[in-house]
Structures are given as structure tokens and as C-alpha cells.
Amino acid sequence: QQDNESEDVFSVPNYACQRRTTLQNHNTVLTEALSILAENAELNEEDGRGIAFRRAEAVLKALPRAVRKLTELKGLPCLGEHSLRIIKDILEKGVSSEVEATKQSERYKALKLLTGIFGVGAKTADRWITMGIYNLQQLQSSGPTLNQAQQAGLEHYEDLNQPVTRAEADHIGEIVRRVVLCVLPGAQLTLIGGFRRGKPTGHDVDFLITHPEEGREVGLLPKVVSLLKSQGFLLYQKTTKNSYLESEDRPTQPSSNMDRFERCFSIFRLKSHQESAEVRGNGSESRPKSWRAVRVDLVVSPISQFAFALLGWTGSKLFERELRRWAGHEKAMSLSSHALYDTKQNSYLRAASEEEIFAHLDLEYIPPSERNA
Ligand code: GTP
Ligand code: MN
Ligand code: MN
């Protein structure tokens, strides 16, 4: 192999949605450091900083090998002064003092712990910290009012912070599919989120439900939820109605990922397989716990919006954000999980597959396993 200078410089396109980012990451030390700073910014609601670190992290994830010298990064997009300083410290000294200090900080640790409770966001965690609440014991004893989601989140804290395996996701998929088909024969259930991108574990399991005949999906979710509930599968659920109206809802906020599908955020009660139940036994009793709690998201889309919903809910979060940024900034289009709107033609662009959406956006098709930005 030649040791030619120019061959040692990486080249990566600007937008994450133009890149193929697999789960194989050659720069985990660097990306984990940037991810801590991104997370810290997000937890402190410094959105701009959070996005900047996430973009820098994603560029490093897309590199074909480990970075050896800072000069190799010359000309790469999204690497700001701050990110470059972190990378430089790690390449030269093995660690970044800023990252280490962040990890040690009481505020970061408390924000992470408290937002690890399902139903608790950065704002609530910040308010609790102001009240002197830094851990779960202090939360239990000082007793601020918890809503139902937070109560369930606290009750199942340990389970919900255990990664969900692919086997567990598939098991839940079988349970949900059986119930969905029972309520609406012909309905289709698709595993979305991180598992669709090939991740071996996740923080939850995400499913998209549709029916090949437009309109048949209306009213489906409450029936699915009540059947799951009656069969003892739900520890908690909150169902939100569909509020999408094409006429009124021209997607105007391309940076927001909120959509209006009928959906259900739930906590599942999943029976453990014998072996895993024994391993995870809580120790204090002779009989191990025979089930665990798992976060499950269900989303329903009409078939006419299915491709957009599938693309919008497969992630990663940064990949989605970059798709919307590309659409808006480069194509004068507005992409949501419902539709793609062309502001120059003043019209919606139909699509029956993810491939067609990428084509409308003038992007090379990137399969789910390469959307791990
Ligand atoms: P893990 O669950 O941590 O393994 O990763 P994940 O990629 O599955 O993340 P998550 O379950 O949080 O979200 C899955 C996808 O759904 C991501 O691409 C999110 O951007 C998207 N998503 C999450 N919440 C919403 C929402 O309210 N609206 C829309 N449109 N998308 C959402
Ligand atoms: Mn997920
Ligand atoms: Mn989810």
C-alpha cells in the first residue's frame, strides 16, 4: 500500500442522508466522547450544540477506518472547532478532560438518571434538580407529583433501563401481530425503529400498523389496546388519536419530528423465557421474577402514507433530521412522516415505497441497515 498524503484524507458528503452508515463503527472512542457532549447539551436543552455534536459524531461513524491523525480530517464537513478540539485531545492524550469532567458532573449524572425514568424529560429533571432531587431515593422521599407515565416509569425503572434484545422484540411482535390480525384481518405489522436498522438491542420496540385498503385502519388501535390489556400484556398505555388532515396540515416545520398518527406509547408485560428469568432473578426471593417490563410503541398509518411513516419511524433520529434538512435546504421540499410537499410546484409528491421518496428527493437510496447515522 502506498502512503500517499492525499489518499489518507477522508471524504464524506455533507448530509447524513447521503451517506451509508452501518453499525460497524471504526471510531467508537471518538464517537462515544462526542455522544456524551451531545447528550449533555440535549439534557440541558441546548439544542443547537446538541445537533452540532451529533453531526460531528455521525461523520466519524461514516469513516471506513479509525482516525490516526487530526490532519486526516481536513476537509470533512460538520466538524466544528469544539468537536475538533475533543478529537485532538483524544488522539494525542487518549482522553478528553472536558468529556471526563462532564461524565463526573453531578448535574449530568442526575439529568441522565432522572430522564431515564419513562415520562420524564429534560425540563422535569431540571425542575427536580432545582428542588434538590438528584437520585431515585431523593425522588421517592421528597415526593413531587408524578403523572401516570412517570409512576409507571419509576415502578419499572430497572426493567426499562435494561436493553431489549432482538429475540424479545420478535416475541412481542408475535403477540402484537396475533392481536392485530384478530381485530382486523389483513392488517400488516412492521418492525420499525432501531431493530429495522439491524441493531441487536434497543431501548424499546417500535411497530407500524397499516391495512392495504385505505381507511380500514381507522379505529383499529383502541381495539388492539383493549384486547392486549384484557390479555394482561399492558402495564401502562397512552393512546393518542390521529389528528392529521392533509388540507390543514401542510408540513411547515421540517425540523420537528412530531407527527399526528394514531399511536400508543406502552409498557408491555413480557413473560421471560426460563433461562433469562433465572439469570435476572431479583435475588431477594427464592423464586425469580417470571416477566419483565418492555417499552413498546405502536403507530398506525393509512396505506397512502405508509412509505412516509416507514421512512420517518425507522430512524436514526439524526438520519431523519438530516433528511428533512436536505429536503428543505436543498430541494425546497418539506418532508414529514405523512407526506412530501414540493413548495415550488405547490403539490404533494406521492410515494408507495421508501425508494420512491429518496428518488423524489434526488438522493441515492439508502437501506435501513445503512441509516445508522
Ligand atoms: P432505540 O429505541 O433506542 O433502539 O432507537 P430507535 O432509533 O428505535 O429510537 P426511537 O424508538 O426513539 O425512535 C424510532 C424512530 O422513530 C426514530 O427515527 C425517531 O426519530 C422516530 N420517532 C420517535 N418519536 C417520534 C414522533 O413522535 N414522531 C415521529 N414522526 N417520529 C418519531
Ligand atoms: Mn426504538
Ligand atoms: Mn420508540
Q: What is the DSSP string of 251-315?
A: ---TT------EEEEEEEEEEPPHHHHHHT--SSSSSPP-EEEEEEEEEE--GGGHHHHHHHHH-
Ligand 1 within 6 A of CB of 159? no
First to last CA, the chain: 30
Separation of alpha carbons 219 and 214, rounded Å: 13
Ligand 1 center–CA 130 separation, angstroms: 29
Residue whose CA is at the smallest distance from ligand 1 atom 10: 193
Burial class (CB in 10 A: 0-12, 13-18, 19+), 91: middle
Q: Map residue 133 onto helix, strand or coil.
A: coil
- Please identify which residue in the block is written with the cell numbers 437510496: 365
- The angle at the Cα of 359, spanning 356 to 363, to the nearest 5 degrees, equals 135
Ligand 3 center–CA 313 separation, angstroms: 8
Nearest residue to 369 via CA among 109, 130, 20, 59:
20
Ligand 1 within 6 A of CB of 258? yes
> pLDDT tens string for the chain (373 positions)?
444 445 578 989 999 999 999 999 999 999 999 999 999 999 999 999 999 999 999 999 999 999 999 999 999 999 999 999 999 999 999 999 999 999 999 999 999 999 999 999 999 999 999 999 999 999 999 878 999 999 999 999 999 999 999 999 999 999 999 999 999 999 999 999 999 999 999 999 999 999 999 999 999 999 999 999 999 999 999 999 877 765 554 544 444 456 778 899 999 999 987 655 455 555 556 778 899 999 999 999 999 999 999 999 999 999 999 999 999 999 999 999 999 999 999 999 999 999 999 999 999 999 999 999 9
Q: Which of 199, 320, 325, 340 to mutate to test the pocket of ligand 1 (most atoms within 8 A of CB)?
A: 320
Nearest residue to 130 via CA among 102, 150, 111, 148:
111
165 - beta bridge partners?
Answer: 201
164 - beta bridge partners?
Answer: 202
Consecutive H or E run containing 165:
strand 164-165
Ligand 3 center–CA 25 separation, angstroms: 23
Annotated catalytic sites, by residue?
Answer: 204, 206, 297
Q: Is 95 left (phi over 0), alpha (psi -120 to 50) or beta?
A: beta
| Proximal ligand: closest to the CA of 371 | 1
Ligand 1 within 6 A of CB of 257? yes
Ligand 2 center–CA 264 separation, angstroms: 13
- The angle at the Cα of 90, spanning 88 to 95, to the nearest 5 degrees, equals 140
The atom of ligand 1 lying closest to the CA of 317 is: 20
Ligand 1 within 6 A of CB of 313? yes
Ligand 2 center–CA 363 separation, angstroms: 25
Separation of alpha carbons 268 and 295, rounded Å: 6
Burial class (CB in 10 A: 0-12, 13-18, 19+), 321: buried
Ligand 1 within 6 A of CB of 322? no
Residue whose CA is at the smallest distance from ligand 1 atom 7: 194
- Please identify which residue in the block is written with the cell numbers 458528503: 13
Ligand 2 center–CA 167 separation, angstroms: 14
Model pTM?
0.92
- The angle at the Cα of 15, spanning 9 to 21, to the nearest 5 degrees, equals 70
Q: For residue 81, which amino acid is it? A: E
Residue whose CA is at the smallest distance from ligand 1 atom 5: 194
Taking residue 194's Cβ as centre, other Cβ atoms within 10 Å add up to 25
The atom of ligand 1 lying closest to the CA of 164 is: 4
CB 308 within 8 A of CB 299: no
Separation of alpha carbons 120 and 136, rounded Å: 12
Ligand 1 within 6 A of CB of 217? no
Ligand 1 within 6 A of CB of 112? no
The atom of ligand 1 lying closest to the CA of 205 is: 2
Residue whose CA is at the smallest distance from ligand 1 atom 27: 258
Residue 109 grid cell: 449524572
Separation of alpha carbons 165 and 159, rounded Å: 12
CB 304 within 8 A of CB 285: no
* CA-only gyration radius of the chain, Å: 22
CB 178 within 8 A of CB 139: no
Residue whose CA is at the smallest distance from ligand 1 atom 18: 315
Residue whose CA is at the smallest distance from ligand 1 atom 26: 258
Ligand 1 center–CA 266 separation, angstroms: 14
